[in-house]
Amino acid sequence: MDFTKPTIEYADLWPLLVVFGVACAGVVVEAFVPRALRFVVQTLLAVAGILAALLGTILVARDLDVLGDGAARGTVDAMGTIAVDGPTVFFWGILLVFGLGGALLFAERRLEGGVSTFAGQAAALPGTEAERQASTRGLEHTEVYPLMMFALGGMMLFPAANDLLTLFVALEVLSLPLYLLCGLARRRRLLSQEAALKYFLLGAFSSAFFLYGAALIYGFSGAMGFAQINEAVRDDIGNQTLLLIGLGMLSVGLLFKVGAAPFHSWTPDVYQGAPTAVTAFMAAGTKIAAFGAMLRLYYVAFGADRWSWQPMLWVIAILTMLVGAVLAIVQTDMKRMLAYSSVAHTGFLLTGVLGVQQASELADGEVTSLQAVLFYLVTYGFSIIGAFALVTLVRDAGGEATQFARWRGLGRRSPVVAGIFAFFLLSMAGIPLTAGFVGKWAVFTVALAAGAWPVVIAAVACSIIAVFFYVRVILLMFFDDDDVAVSGEVASVTKPSVLTSATILVGVAATLVLGVVPGPVLDLAANAGQFVR
Protein backbone atom coordinates (compact mmCIF):
# COMPACT_ATOMS: atom_id res chain seq x y z
CA MET A 1 0.00 0.00 0.00
CA ASP A 2 1.34 3.35 -0.99
CA PHE A 3 1.76 5.95 1.62
CA THR A 4 1.22 9.50 0.45
CA LYS A 5 2.64 12.28 2.51
CA PRO A 6 -0.21 14.51 3.61
CA THR A 7 -0.05 18.05 2.36
CA ILE A 8 -1.25 20.99 4.39
CA GLU A 9 -1.88 24.30 2.64
CA TYR A 10 -0.52 26.58 5.31
CA ALA A 11 -1.16 29.66 3.23
CA ASP A 12 -4.92 29.08 3.43
CA LEU A 13 -5.18 27.60 6.88
CA TRP A 14 -2.99 29.86 8.92
CA PRO A 15 -5.76 31.85 10.63
CA LEU A 16 -7.04 28.57 12.05
CA LEU A 17 -3.55 27.55 13.07
CA VAL A 18 -2.92 30.91 14.76
CA VAL A 19 -5.97 30.41 16.97
CA PHE A 20 -4.97 26.88 17.93
CA GLY A 21 -1.35 28.00 18.37
CA VAL A 22 -2.36 30.77 20.73
CA ALA A 23 -4.49 28.32 22.67
CA CYS A 24 -1.48 26.02 23.11
CA ALA A 25 0.72 28.98 24.01
CA GLY A 26 -1.86 29.87 26.66
CA VAL A 27 -1.36 26.48 28.28
CA VAL A 28 2.37 27.10 28.34
CA VAL A 29 1.80 30.52 29.89
CA GLU A 30 -0.17 28.88 32.69
CA ALA A 31 2.78 26.67 33.41
CA PHE A 32 5.59 29.18 33.34
CA VAL A 33 4.39 32.72 33.94
CA PRO A 34 4.02 33.92 37.57
CA ARG A 35 0.46 34.04 38.82
CA ALA A 36 0.37 37.81 39.16
CA LEU A 37 1.20 38.38 35.54
CA ARG A 38 -0.97 35.67 34.02
CA PHE A 39 -4.12 37.70 33.66
CA VAL A 40 -2.42 40.43 31.64
CA VAL A 41 -0.38 38.03 29.53
CA GLN A 42 -3.30 35.72 28.80
CA THR A 43 -5.65 38.55 27.88
CA LEU A 44 -3.14 40.20 25.60
CA LEU A 45 -2.24 36.88 24.03
CA ALA A 46 -5.85 35.99 23.33
CA VAL A 47 -6.75 39.40 21.93
CA ALA A 48 -3.59 39.56 19.82
CA GLY A 49 -4.20 36.04 18.56
CA ILE A 50 -7.76 36.82 17.56
CA LEU A 51 -6.72 40.05 15.83
CA ALA A 52 -3.94 38.25 13.95
CA ALA A 53 -6.35 35.54 12.87
CA LEU A 54 -8.85 38.18 11.78
CA LEU A 55 -6.19 39.86 9.69
CA GLY A 56 -5.26 36.47 8.28
CA THR A 57 -8.89 35.74 7.43
CA ILE A 58 -9.11 38.97 5.49
CA LEU A 59 -5.89 38.20 3.61
CA VAL A 60 -7.00 34.66 2.82
CA ALA A 61 -10.41 35.92 1.72
CA ARG A 62 -8.81 38.37 -0.67
CA ASP A 63 -7.03 35.79 -2.75
CA LEU A 64 -9.44 32.91 -2.90
CA ASP A 65 -9.42 31.38 -6.36
CA VAL A 66 -12.54 31.53 -8.41
CA LEU A 67 -13.71 28.06 -9.33
CA GLY A 68 -15.14 26.82 -12.61
CA ASP A 69 -18.51 28.46 -13.10
CA GLY A 70 -17.73 31.41 -10.87
CA ALA A 71 -20.42 30.69 -8.29
CA ALA A 72 -17.93 29.52 -5.69
CA ARG A 73 -14.47 30.63 -4.69
CA GLY A 74 -11.94 28.72 -2.69
CA THR A 75 -10.11 25.44 -2.39
CA VAL A 76 -10.35 22.17 -0.56
CA ASP A 77 -7.27 21.81 1.59
CA ALA A 78 -5.54 19.35 3.83
CA MET A 79 -6.24 16.28 1.74
CA GLY A 80 -9.87 17.11 1.21
CA THR A 81 -10.74 17.54 4.84
CA ILE A 82 -11.04 21.30 5.10
CA ALA A 83 -12.76 23.58 2.63
CA VAL A 84 -11.55 27.15 2.58
CA ASP A 85 -14.10 28.96 0.49
CA GLY A 86 -16.17 32.11 0.59
CA PRO A 87 -18.65 30.96 3.23
CA THR A 88 -15.82 29.56 5.35
CA VAL A 89 -13.93 32.83 5.51
CA PHE A 90 -17.17 34.66 6.21
CA PHE A 91 -17.82 32.34 9.14
CA TRP A 92 -14.23 32.75 10.30
CA GLY A 93 -14.59 36.48 10.18
CA ILE A 94 -17.77 36.73 12.21
CA LEU A 95 -16.66 34.03 14.65
CA LEU A 96 -13.44 35.95 15.31
CA VAL A 97 -15.31 39.21 15.78
CA PHE A 98 -17.67 37.63 18.28
CA GLY A 99 -14.74 35.75 19.81
CA LEU A 100 -13.07 39.09 20.40
CA GLY A 101 -16.22 40.31 22.11
CA GLY A 102 -16.20 37.16 24.23
CA ALA A 103 -12.55 37.67 25.18
CA LEU A 104 -13.26 41.23 26.26
CA LEU A 105 -16.18 40.09 28.40
CA PHE A 106 -14.02 37.34 29.93
CA ALA A 107 -11.47 39.96 30.92
CA GLU A 108 -13.96 42.19 32.70
CA ARG A 109 -12.82 42.53 36.33
CA ARG A 110 -14.42 45.71 37.50
CA LEU A 111 -17.91 44.34 38.04
CA GLU A 112 -16.80 41.84 40.67
CA GLY A 113 -14.55 44.33 42.38
CA GLY A 114 -11.19 43.39 40.90
CA VAL A 115 -11.58 39.71 40.07
CA SER A 116 -12.99 38.01 37.02
CA THR A 117 -16.44 36.43 36.97
CA PHE A 118 -14.87 32.97 36.98
CA ALA A 119 -14.46 30.82 40.07
CA GLY A 120 -11.33 31.40 42.12
CA GLN A 121 -10.62 27.72 42.35
CA ALA A 122 -12.86 25.49 40.35
CA ALA A 123 -11.82 22.36 42.18
CA ALA A 124 -12.93 23.69 45.56
CA LEU A 125 -16.35 22.54 46.62
CA PRO A 126 -18.90 25.32 46.93
CA GLY A 127 -19.33 26.50 50.49
CA THR A 128 -16.12 24.94 51.83
CA GLU A 129 -13.10 26.47 53.52
CA ALA A 130 -11.06 25.98 50.35
CA GLU A 131 -13.47 28.13 48.40
CA ARG A 132 -13.48 30.86 51.01
CA GLN A 133 -9.69 30.90 50.97
CA ALA A 134 -9.61 31.07 47.21
CA SER A 135 -11.87 34.06 47.18
CA THR A 136 -10.12 35.91 50.01
CA ARG A 137 -6.79 35.42 48.29
CA GLY A 138 -8.28 36.81 45.12
CA LEU A 139 -7.45 33.74 43.09
CA GLU A 140 -8.80 33.44 39.59
CA HIS A 141 -8.64 30.99 36.78
CA THR A 142 -6.74 32.34 33.82
CA GLU A 143 -7.06 28.97 32.07
CA VAL A 144 -10.32 30.27 30.71
CA TYR A 145 -8.47 32.08 27.92
CA PRO A 146 -6.80 29.02 26.39
CA LEU A 147 -10.09 27.14 26.86
CA MET A 148 -11.91 29.87 25.01
CA MET A 149 -9.31 29.85 22.23
CA PHE A 150 -9.64 26.10 21.81
CA ALA A 151 -13.41 26.47 21.61
CA LEU A 152 -13.02 29.28 19.11
CA GLY A 153 -10.65 27.16 17.01
CA GLY A 154 -13.18 24.34 17.07
CA MET A 155 -15.91 26.72 16.01
CA MET A 156 -13.80 27.89 13.07
CA LEU A 157 -13.04 24.35 12.02
CA PHE A 158 -16.69 23.26 12.29
CA PRO A 159 -18.13 25.11 9.28
CA ALA A 160 -14.94 24.48 7.28
CA ALA A 161 -14.90 20.71 7.80
CA ASN A 162 -15.35 18.90 4.54
CA ASP A 163 -15.62 15.34 5.73
CA LEU A 164 -17.55 13.66 8.50
CA LEU A 165 -14.55 12.82 10.65
CA THR A 166 -13.18 16.35 10.65
CA LEU A 167 -16.67 17.52 11.40
CA PHE A 168 -16.83 15.27 14.41
CA VAL A 169 -13.41 16.32 15.65
CA ALA A 170 -14.35 19.97 15.30
CA LEU A 171 -17.60 19.31 17.17
CA GLU A 172 -15.72 17.87 20.10
CA VAL A 173 -12.99 20.49 20.05
CA LEU A 174 -15.54 23.24 20.28
CA SER A 175 -17.71 21.50 22.84
CA LEU A 176 -15.31 20.17 25.46
CA PRO A 177 -13.86 23.55 26.50
CA LEU A 178 -17.37 24.97 26.64
CA TYR A 179 -18.51 22.24 29.03
CA LEU A 180 -15.69 23.26 31.35
CA LEU A 181 -16.25 26.99 30.98
CA CYS A 182 -19.92 26.60 31.88
CA GLY A 183 -19.04 25.26 35.30
CA LEU A 184 -16.70 28.05 36.31
CA ALA A 185 -19.03 30.73 37.61
CA ARG A 186 -17.80 32.59 40.68
CA ARG A 187 -21.30 33.14 42.01
CA ARG A 188 -24.06 30.53 42.21
CA ARG A 189 -21.58 27.76 41.64
CA LEU A 190 -23.95 24.88 42.21
CA LEU A 191 -26.21 26.16 39.48
CA SER A 192 -23.21 26.59 37.24
CA GLN A 193 -21.83 23.13 37.92
CA GLU A 194 -25.22 21.56 37.41
CA ALA A 195 -25.44 23.32 34.07
CA ALA A 196 -22.00 22.15 33.05
CA LEU A 197 -22.76 18.56 33.94
CA LYS A 198 -26.06 18.60 32.10
CA TYR A 199 -24.47 20.15 29.08
CA PHE A 200 -21.68 17.60 29.12
CA LEU A 201 -23.90 14.56 29.51
CA LEU A 202 -26.38 15.64 26.89
CA GLY A 203 -23.62 16.81 24.59
CA ALA A 204 -21.93 13.44 24.85
CA PHE A 205 -25.25 11.74 24.20
CA SER A 206 -25.87 13.76 21.08
CA SER A 207 -22.29 13.27 19.90
CA ALA A 208 -22.90 9.55 20.06
CA PHE A 209 -25.86 9.97 17.74
CA PHE A 210 -23.74 12.02 15.43
CA LEU A 211 -20.97 9.44 15.36
CA TYR A 212 -23.38 6.61 14.73
CA GLY A 213 -24.89 8.59 11.91
CA ALA A 214 -21.45 9.15 10.42
CA ALA A 215 -20.81 5.42 10.54
CA LEU A 216 -24.09 4.67 8.79
CA ILE A 217 -23.36 7.21 6.09
CA TYR A 218 -19.99 5.58 5.61
CA GLY A 219 -21.81 2.31 5.29
CA PHE A 220 -24.01 3.83 2.63
CA SER A 221 -21.44 5.64 0.55
CA GLY A 222 -18.14 4.04 1.46
CA ALA A 223 -16.62 7.46 1.99
CA MET A 224 -16.32 10.21 4.56
CA GLY A 225 -15.76 13.18 2.27
CA PHE A 226 -18.74 15.38 1.47
CA ALA A 227 -17.97 15.35 -2.25
CA GLN A 228 -17.91 11.55 -2.38
CA ILE A 229 -21.07 11.31 -0.30
CA ASN A 230 -22.71 13.72 -2.70
CA GLU A 231 -21.74 11.52 -5.61
CA ALA A 232 -23.03 8.44 -3.89
CA VAL A 233 -26.32 10.16 -3.10
CA ARG A 234 -26.66 11.36 -6.66
CA ASP A 235 -25.89 8.01 -8.17
CA ASP A 236 -28.09 6.30 -5.62
CA ILE A 237 -25.63 3.48 -5.19
CA GLY A 238 -26.17 2.31 -1.65
CA ASN A 239 -28.87 1.25 0.69
CA GLN A 240 -31.42 4.03 0.96
CA THR A 241 -32.38 3.07 4.52
CA LEU A 242 -28.81 3.45 5.70
CA LEU A 243 -28.66 6.87 4.11
CA LEU A 244 -31.86 8.05 5.75
CA ILE A 245 -31.10 6.75 9.23
CA GLY A 246 -27.58 8.12 8.99
CA LEU A 247 -28.82 11.49 7.83
CA GLY A 248 -31.33 11.61 10.66
CA MET A 249 -28.71 10.83 13.27
CA LEU A 250 -26.23 13.35 11.90
CA SER A 251 -29.03 15.90 12.00
CA VAL A 252 -29.70 15.12 15.65
CA GLY A 253 -26.12 16.00 16.53
CA LEU A 254 -26.24 19.29 14.68
CA LEU A 255 -29.75 20.22 15.77
CA PHE A 256 -28.67 19.65 19.34
CA LYS A 257 -25.84 22.12 18.95
CA VAL A 258 -28.05 24.83 17.45
CA GLY A 259 -30.68 24.21 20.10
CA ALA A 260 -33.60 23.19 17.90
CA ALA A 261 -36.68 21.57 19.45
CA PRO A 262 -37.01 18.83 20.65
CA PHE A 263 -33.27 18.96 21.31
CA HIS A 264 -33.38 22.34 23.02
CA SER A 265 -33.96 21.35 26.63
CA TRP A 266 -30.37 22.00 27.70
CA THR A 267 -30.40 25.57 26.40
CA PRO A 268 -32.21 27.41 29.21
CA ASP A 269 -30.43 25.58 32.01
CA VAL A 270 -27.00 26.03 30.49
CA TYR A 271 -27.52 29.65 29.44
CA GLN A 272 -28.75 30.43 32.92
CA GLY A 273 -26.13 28.54 34.84
CA ALA A 274 -23.03 29.42 32.87
CA PRO A 275 -21.11 32.60 33.69
CA THR A 276 -22.82 35.26 31.60
CA ALA A 277 -19.67 36.06 29.65
CA VAL A 278 -19.50 32.41 28.60
CA THR A 279 -23.19 32.42 27.75
CA ALA A 280 -22.68 35.41 25.48
CA PHE A 281 -19.74 33.82 23.71
CA MET A 282 -21.44 30.46 23.44
CA ALA A 283 -24.82 31.80 22.34
CA ALA A 284 -23.27 33.62 19.41
CA GLY A 285 -20.35 31.33 18.56
CA THR A 286 -21.86 27.88 18.85
CA LYS A 287 -24.93 28.82 16.91
CA ILE A 288 -22.95 30.39 14.08
CA ALA A 289 -20.51 27.49 13.86
CA ALA A 290 -23.21 24.86 14.01
CA PHE A 291 -25.32 26.56 11.37
CA GLY A 292 -22.24 26.81 9.19
CA ALA A 293 -21.63 23.09 9.55
CA MET A 294 -25.27 22.28 9.02
CA LEU A 295 -25.47 24.35 5.84
CA ARG A 296 -22.37 22.72 4.39
CA LEU A 297 -23.49 19.24 5.32
CA TYR A 298 -26.99 19.65 3.93
CA TYR A 299 -26.09 21.63 0.83
CA VAL A 300 -22.85 19.94 -0.18
CA ALA A 301 -23.14 16.35 0.99
CA PHE A 302 -26.91 15.88 0.83
CA GLY A 303 -27.91 18.67 -1.53
CA ALA A 304 -28.91 16.20 -4.22
CA ASP A 305 -31.27 14.54 -1.80
CA ARG A 306 -32.88 17.62 -0.36
CA TRP A 307 -36.39 16.35 -0.89
CA SER A 308 -35.77 13.72 1.73
CA TRP A 309 -34.51 16.02 4.48
CA GLN A 310 -36.54 19.12 3.83
CA PRO A 311 -39.90 17.83 5.17
CA MET A 312 -38.20 16.77 8.39
CA LEU A 313 -36.61 20.19 8.70
CA TRP A 314 -39.96 21.89 8.02
CA VAL A 315 -41.45 20.21 11.04
CA ILE A 316 -38.41 20.85 13.22
CA ALA A 317 -38.36 24.52 12.23
CA ILE A 318 -42.03 25.05 13.06
CA LEU A 319 -41.74 23.17 16.32
CA THR A 320 -38.61 25.08 17.32
CA MET A 321 -40.12 28.48 16.67
CA LEU A 322 -43.29 27.57 18.51
CA VAL A 323 -41.54 26.12 21.54
CA GLY A 324 -39.06 28.99 21.75
CA ALA A 325 -41.60 31.75 21.36
CA VAL A 326 -44.30 30.30 23.56
CA LEU A 327 -42.11 29.13 26.41
CA ALA A 328 -40.21 32.41 26.48
CA ILE A 329 -43.47 34.09 27.43
CA VAL A 330 -43.69 32.32 30.76
CA GLN A 331 -40.09 32.85 31.85
CA THR A 332 -39.29 35.08 34.78
CA ASP A 333 -35.52 35.06 34.52
CA MET A 334 -33.71 37.26 32.04
CA LYS A 335 -31.13 34.69 31.01
CA ARG A 336 -33.70 31.93 30.59
CA MET A 337 -35.88 34.27 28.57
CA LEU A 338 -32.97 35.07 26.29
CA ALA A 339 -32.25 31.34 26.05
CA TYR A 340 -35.74 30.53 24.87
CA SER A 341 -35.62 33.49 22.54
CA SER A 342 -32.43 32.04 21.08
CA VAL A 343 -34.34 28.78 20.54
CA ALA A 344 -36.91 30.77 18.60
CA HIS A 345 -34.11 32.37 16.58
CA THR A 346 -32.84 28.90 15.74
CA GLY A 347 -36.24 28.21 14.28
CA PHE A 348 -36.13 31.37 12.18
CA LEU A 349 -32.66 30.43 10.96
CA LEU A 350 -33.87 26.95 10.04
CA THR A 351 -36.56 28.65 8.00
CA GLY A 352 -33.74 30.29 6.06
CA VAL A 353 -31.94 26.96 5.65
CA LEU A 354 -35.11 25.62 4.02
CA GLY A 355 -34.87 28.29 1.37
CA VAL A 356 -32.21 26.40 -0.56
CA GLN A 357 -32.77 26.43 -4.30
CA GLN A 358 -30.73 25.39 -7.27
CA ALA A 359 -28.86 28.25 -8.92
CA SER A 360 -31.02 27.78 -11.99
CA GLU A 361 -34.20 28.36 -10.00
CA LEU A 362 -33.02 31.70 -8.70
CA ALA A 363 -33.91 34.93 -10.39
CA ASP A 364 -31.04 37.23 -11.18
CA GLY A 365 -29.74 38.90 -8.05
CA GLU A 366 -32.18 37.14 -5.76
CA VAL A 367 -31.01 36.63 -2.21
CA THR A 368 -29.79 33.08 -1.72
CA SER A 369 -30.65 31.16 1.39
CA LEU A 370 -26.98 30.96 2.33
CA GLN A 371 -26.70 34.71 2.11
CA ALA A 372 -29.85 35.25 4.15
CA VAL A 373 -28.71 32.85 6.87
CA LEU A 374 -25.26 34.44 6.99
CA PHE A 375 -26.77 37.88 7.39
CA TYR A 376 -29.20 36.71 10.05
CA LEU A 377 -26.35 35.12 11.99
CA VAL A 378 -24.43 38.40 11.96
CA THR A 379 -27.40 40.40 13.23
CA TYR A 380 -28.27 37.78 15.82
CA GLY A 381 -24.70 37.53 17.04
CA PHE A 382 -24.31 41.24 17.65
CA SER A 383 -27.57 41.61 19.51
CA ILE A 384 -27.23 38.48 21.65
CA ILE A 385 -23.65 39.28 22.74
CA GLY A 386 -24.69 42.84 23.49
CA ALA A 387 -27.77 41.72 25.42
CA PHE A 388 -25.90 39.21 27.57
CA ALA A 389 -23.12 41.74 28.17
CA LEU A 390 -25.77 44.11 29.47
CA VAL A 391 -27.17 41.44 31.74
CA THR A 392 -23.79 41.34 33.51
CA LEU A 393 -24.19 44.99 34.48
CA VAL A 394 -27.50 44.73 36.31
CA ARG A 395 -26.58 43.57 39.77
CA ASP A 396 -27.57 43.49 43.37
CA ALA A 397 -25.83 42.29 46.50
CA GLY A 398 -25.83 38.69 45.30
CA GLY A 399 -24.18 39.39 41.94
CA GLU A 400 -26.07 39.53 38.69
CA ALA A 401 -29.77 40.02 39.25
CA THR A 402 -31.45 38.09 36.49
CA GLN A 403 -34.92 37.84 38.03
CA PHE A 404 -37.48 39.96 36.21
CA ALA A 405 -38.68 41.42 39.48
CA ARG A 406 -35.29 43.00 40.00
CA TRP A 407 -35.42 44.78 36.65
CA ARG A 408 -38.56 46.67 37.54
CA GLY A 409 -38.30 50.36 36.79
CA LEU A 410 -34.72 50.09 35.59
CA GLY A 411 -35.60 52.50 32.81
CA ARG A 412 -36.07 55.26 35.33
CA ARG A 413 -32.96 54.54 37.34
CA SER A 414 -30.61 53.91 34.42
CA PRO A 415 -32.27 55.10 31.24
CA VAL A 416 -29.23 54.56 29.04
CA VAL A 417 -28.65 50.92 29.97
CA ALA A 418 -32.34 50.12 29.86
CA GLY A 419 -32.67 51.96 26.55
CA ILE A 420 -29.83 49.98 24.98
CA PHE A 421 -31.27 46.72 26.26
CA ALA A 422 -34.65 47.68 24.87
CA PHE A 423 -33.00 48.38 21.54
CA PHE A 424 -31.42 44.90 21.45
CA LEU A 425 -34.77 43.38 22.31
CA LEU A 426 -36.49 45.33 19.56
CA SER A 427 -33.90 44.10 17.10
CA MET A 428 -34.44 40.50 18.19
CA ALA A 429 -38.17 41.11 17.81
CA GLY A 430 -37.56 42.29 14.25
CA ILE A 431 -38.85 45.86 14.41
CA PRO A 432 -37.99 47.90 11.29
CA LEU A 433 -34.82 50.01 11.28
CA THR A 434 -33.01 47.45 13.39
CA ALA A 435 -30.78 44.71 12.08
CA GLY A 436 -33.19 42.01 13.20
CA PHE A 437 -35.89 43.22 10.83
CA VAL A 438 -33.72 42.93 7.74
CA GLY A 439 -32.45 39.55 8.91
CA LYS A 440 -35.91 38.13 9.49
CA TRP A 441 -37.16 39.56 6.27
CA ALA A 442 -34.30 37.96 4.36
CA VAL A 443 -34.74 34.45 5.76
CA PHE A 444 -38.52 34.48 5.48
CA THR A 445 -38.35 35.70 1.92
CA VAL A 446 -35.98 33.00 0.74
CA ALA A 447 -38.11 30.35 2.39
CA LEU A 448 -41.22 31.74 0.73
CA ALA A 449 -39.46 31.85 -2.61
CA ALA A 450 -38.56 28.19 -2.20
CA GLY A 451 -42.21 27.37 -1.60
CA ALA A 452 -42.02 26.67 2.13
CA TRP A 453 -45.00 28.88 2.79
CA PRO A 454 -46.48 26.90 5.70
CA VAL A 455 -43.21 27.38 7.54
CA VAL A 456 -43.16 31.07 6.70
CA ILE A 457 -46.67 31.57 8.01
CA ALA A 458 -45.73 29.79 11.21
CA ALA A 459 -42.59 31.92 11.36
CA VAL A 460 -44.48 35.17 10.97
CA ALA A 461 -46.97 34.08 13.62
CA CYS A 462 -44.17 33.07 15.98
CA SER A 463 -42.26 36.27 15.42
CA ILE A 464 -45.42 38.07 16.46
CA ILE A 465 -45.76 35.94 19.58
CA ALA A 466 -42.08 36.66 20.20
CA VAL A 467 -42.71 40.38 20.19
CA PHE A 468 -44.79 39.95 23.33
CA PHE A 469 -42.07 38.72 25.60
CA TYR A 470 -39.59 41.27 24.34
CA VAL A 471 -42.07 44.06 24.86
CA ARG A 472 -42.98 42.65 28.25
CA VAL A 473 -39.40 43.22 29.39
CA ILE A 474 -39.42 46.74 27.97
CA LEU A 475 -42.65 47.46 29.83
CA LEU A 476 -41.14 46.05 32.98
CA MET A 477 -38.16 48.35 32.70
CA PHE A 478 -39.94 51.52 31.70
CA PHE A 479 -43.49 51.39 32.91
CA ASP A 480 -43.59 49.26 36.02
CA ASP A 481 -43.60 50.79 39.41
CA ASP A 482 -40.12 50.85 40.88
CA ASP A 483 -41.36 51.58 44.35
CA VAL A 484 -39.23 49.35 46.57
CA ALA A 485 -42.02 48.91 49.08
CA VAL A 486 -44.23 47.45 46.38
CA SER A 487 -41.89 45.29 44.39
CA GLY A 488 -39.18 44.29 46.84
CA GLU A 489 -35.52 44.72 46.21
CA VAL A 490 -34.49 46.01 42.81
CA ALA A 491 -31.18 45.79 41.06
CA SER A 492 -29.01 48.66 39.97
CA VAL A 493 -26.49 49.11 37.23
CA THR A 494 -22.81 48.72 38.02
CA LYS A 495 -20.44 50.74 35.91
CA PRO A 496 -18.30 48.36 33.86
CA SER A 497 -14.78 48.80 32.58
CA VAL A 498 -14.06 49.86 29.05
CA LEU A 499 -13.94 46.21 27.93
CA THR A 500 -17.61 45.47 28.48
CA SER A 501 -18.68 48.95 27.42
CA ALA A 502 -16.82 48.58 24.15
CA THR A 503 -18.48 45.23 23.44
CA ILE A 504 -21.91 46.66 24.14
CA LEU A 505 -21.33 49.77 22.09
CA VAL A 506 -20.10 47.79 19.09
CA GLY A 507 -23.20 45.62 19.42
CA VAL A 508 -25.50 48.65 19.47
CA ALA A 509 -23.74 50.34 16.57
CA ALA A 510 -23.79 47.20 14.46
CA THR A 511 -27.44 46.52 15.23
CA LEU A 512 -28.39 50.04 14.22
CA VAL A 513 -26.19 50.26 11.13
CA LEU A 514 -27.24 46.83 9.86
CA GLY A 515 -30.84 47.92 10.17
CA VAL A 516 -30.43 51.23 8.37
CA VAL A 517 -27.81 50.37 5.77
CA PRO A 518 -27.60 46.59 5.59
CA GLY A 519 -26.20 46.80 2.06
CA PRO A 520 -22.47 46.34 2.68
CA VAL A 521 -22.85 43.25 4.87
CA LEU A 522 -25.45 41.74 2.54
CA ASP A 523 -22.98 42.35 -0.28
CA LEU A 524 -20.25 40.71 1.72
CA ALA A 525 -22.49 37.71 2.29
CA ALA A 526 -23.32 37.64 -1.41
CA ASN A 527 -19.63 37.77 -2.25
CA ALA A 528 -19.07 34.71 -0.13
CA GLY A 529 -20.78 32.87 -2.95
CA GLN A 530 -21.48 29.18 -2.76
CA PHE A 531 -19.79 26.30 -1.01
CA VAL A 532 -17.03 24.56 -2.93
CA ARG A 533 -17.93 21.03 -3.76
Partner 1 sequence: MYAFNEGAIPVVAPTDADGIYSLLWLIVALPLAGAAILLIGGRFTDKWGHLLGTLMPIGSFGISLALFVDLLGRDEGQRQITQHLYSWIQVGGLDVGADLLYDPLSALFLLLITGVGSLIHVYSIGYMSHDPRRRRFFAYLNLFVAAMLTLVLAENYLGLFLGWEGVGLASYLLIGFWQHKPSAAAAAKKAFVINRVGDMGMSTAIMMFFVTFGSTSFTVISENAAGASETKLTILGLLLLLGACAKSAQFPLQAWLLDAMEGPTPVSALIHAATMVTAGVYLIVRSNFIFELAPDAQTAVVVVALISILWGAAIGCAKDDIKKGLAGSTMSQIGYMMLGAGLGAAGYAFAIFHLLTHGFFKANMFLGAGSVMHGMNDDVDMRHYGALRKMMPVTFLTFAMGYLAIIGFPGFSGFWSKDKIIETALADNWLVGICALLGAGITGFYMTRMMLMTFLGEKRWEKDVHPHESPSVMTIPLMVLAALSVLGGVMLAGDWIQDFLAPVVGTGAHEDPPLPALAITTIAVLVVASGVALAFVLFGKRDIPRTAPQDVSFVTRAARAELYGNQINDGLVVTPTRHLVGGLLAVDKHVVDGTFTGGPIAIGSLGAVARRAQNGFVRTYALSLLGGALLVVLALLAVNLA
Please state the φ and ψ torsions of residue 357, each to the nearest 5 degrees.
-140, 155
**Residue 67 binds partner 1 (CB under 8 A):** no
The interface with partner 1 within residues 271-290 (CB under 8 A) comprises: 272-273
**Residue 486 binds partner 1 (CB under 8 A):** no
SS3 136: helix
Among 146, 117, 420, residue whose Cα is nearest residue 277: 117
CB of 45 to partner 1, least distance (A): 35
Site string for partner 1, 287-326 (x = CB under 8 A): ---------------------xx-xx--xx-----xx--x
CB of 354 to partner 1, least distance (A): 14
CB of 361 to partner 1, least distance (A): 12
Selected from 24, 464, 498, 509, the binder of partner 1 by CB under 8 A is 464
CB of 222 to partner 1, least distance (A): 21
113 alpha-carbon distance from chain centroid? 29
Selected from 44, 329, 484, 486, the binder of partner 1 by CB under 8 A is 329
**Residue 133 binds partner 1 (CB under 8 A):** no
The interface with partner 1 within residues 239-258 (CB under 8 A) comprises: 240-241, 244-245, 247-249, 251-252, 255-256
Site string for partner 1, 498-527 (x = CB under 8 A): ------------------xxxx--xx--x-
- The beta strand positions in 368-464, using DSSP E, are 394-396, 399-400
How many residues bind partner 1 (CB under 8 A)? The answer is 74
146 alpha-carbon distance from chain centroid? 18
The interface with partner 1 within residues 396-455 (CB under 8 A) comprises: 431-433, 438, 441, 444-445, 448-449
CB closer to partner 1, 55 vs 329: 329
Give the helix ranges, DSSP H, for 275-331. 276-296, 306-329
CB closer to partner 1, 249 vs 290: 249
Among 436, 439, 460, 432, residue whose Cα is nearest residue 383: 436
Length of the chain: 533
CB closer to partner 1, 322 vs 394: 322
- Rg of the chain on CA atoms, in Å: 22
CB closer to partner 1, 79 vs 312: 312
- DSSP assigned state of 299: I
CB closer to partner 1, 255 vs 532: 255
CB of 365 to partner 1, least distance (A): 2
d(CA 530, CA 86): 7
Site string for partner 1, 187-226 (x = CB under 8 A): ---xx--xx-xx--xx--xx--x-----------------
CB closer to partner 1, 118 vs 200: 200
- The beta strand positions in 32-181, using DSSP E, are 74-77, 82-85
CB closer to partner 1, 46 vs 260: 260
Helices 453-478/435-449 angle, 10° precision: 160
Give 149-191 as a 3 state SS string: HHHHHHHHHHHHECEHHHHHHHHHHHHHHHHHHHCCECCCHHH
CB closer to partner 1, 47 vs 428: 428
Residues 86/246, Cβ–Cβ less than 8 Å: no
Residues 250/297, Cβ–Cβ less than 8 Å: yes
Among 271, 259, 272, 284, residue whose Cα is nearest residue 101: 284
Residues 353/442, Cβ–Cβ less than 8 Å: no
The interface with partner 1 within residues 12-31 (CB under 8 A) comprises: none
- DSSP assigned state of 33: S
CB closer to partner 1, 329 vs 486: 329
CB of 131 to partner 1, least distance (A): 18
